[in-house]
Amino acid sequence: MNKTIKILTIDDSKDILFAISVICEYQGWKALTASHAKRGLELLINQGANLILLDYHMPEIDGIEAIRMLREVNKSVPIIILTVEERPEIADRFMAEGADDFALKPIKALDLIWRIKTHLRISQEPEIDDIELKKGLSRETLDKVLEYLNGNIQYTTIKKIAQGTGLAYQTVHRYMQYLIENNKVEVKLKYGKQGRPKNRYIVKQ
């Protein structure tokens, strides 16, 4: 008999909690819901969870502080941040605290299901393949980014990589930073029509 998958959602929006509960029911997952971080922490301690969906903007305790609390209890459970923010600096803050991915609001069911299934699969894989990676990075996601880059002969942007791989912009941004640090990609600054520079990337040969 298969073990029940528990998805814990922490969000102050009743509509979001209801929508995700419906998605979980459709997928055969058990939905655990909390409207604030303290309740979410209680559920994680008492019932456990295979994956956590965490809202960024919440009253009293926001997503940044909430992820710190959750990581004190469980350092390995995948955490996906729910947010309307697309700024790289927000992604960096969450990744530094231990987030695994982002799902942009308004939530799209198919996108969220894909992300949940991907991280559930990654969390169940042996960790030996990830030894050389920085904490919070997965081999599977890195391979997906590299596969896309290897298929391009021209410089490309993070936005196009995200669209081509189905990954969140913030996720791609973090993996590109890792590849730059390890001298795996070349970066070229290109100015657009309005004079704003954009980084473009290509795999080093």
Pair 98, 146 in one domain = no
* Residue 22: per-residue pLDDT: 97
Query: Residue 92 class from Cβ within 10 Å (0-12 exposed, 13-18 middle, 19+ buried)?
Result: middle
Both 106 and 11 in one domain: the answer is: yes
Q: Kindly state whether residues 150 and 80 are assigned to the same domain.
A: no
Biggest CA pair distance of the chain: 59
* Residue 15 counted as domain residue: yes
Tally of domains within the chain:
2
E strand or H helix at 188: strand 185-191
Claim to verify: residue 100 and residue 145 sit in the same structural domain: no
Beta-bridge partner residues of 67: none
147 within some domain: yes
C-alpha triplet 143, 145, 149: angle, nearest 5°: 110
Closest to 176 (Cα-Cα) out of 204, 145, 154: 145
Is the peptide bond between 106 and the residue preceding it cis, with omega within 30 degrees of 0?
yes
3-state secondary structure 65-116: HHHHHHHHHCCCCCEEEEECCCCHHHHHHHHHHCCCEEEECCCCHHHHHHHH
What's the domain range around 73?
6-124
Show pLDDT as tens, one digit a residue, over the chain (205 residues). Answer: 457 999 999 999 999 999 999 999 999 999 999 999 999 999 999 999 999 999 999 988 999 999 999 999 998 899 999 998 888 888 888 888 889 888 888 889 999 998 999 888 877 754 434 446 777 788 888 889 988 888 877 899 999 999 999 999 989 998 988 888 888 888 888 766 655 667 888 887 6
On whether both 22 and 118 belong to a single domain, the answer is yes
Please report the sign of the dihedral spanned by the C-alpha atoms of residue 35, residue 41, residue 42, residue 45: positive
The predicted pLDDT at position 196 comes to 62
* CATH number of the domain that residue 70 is part of: 3.40.50.2300
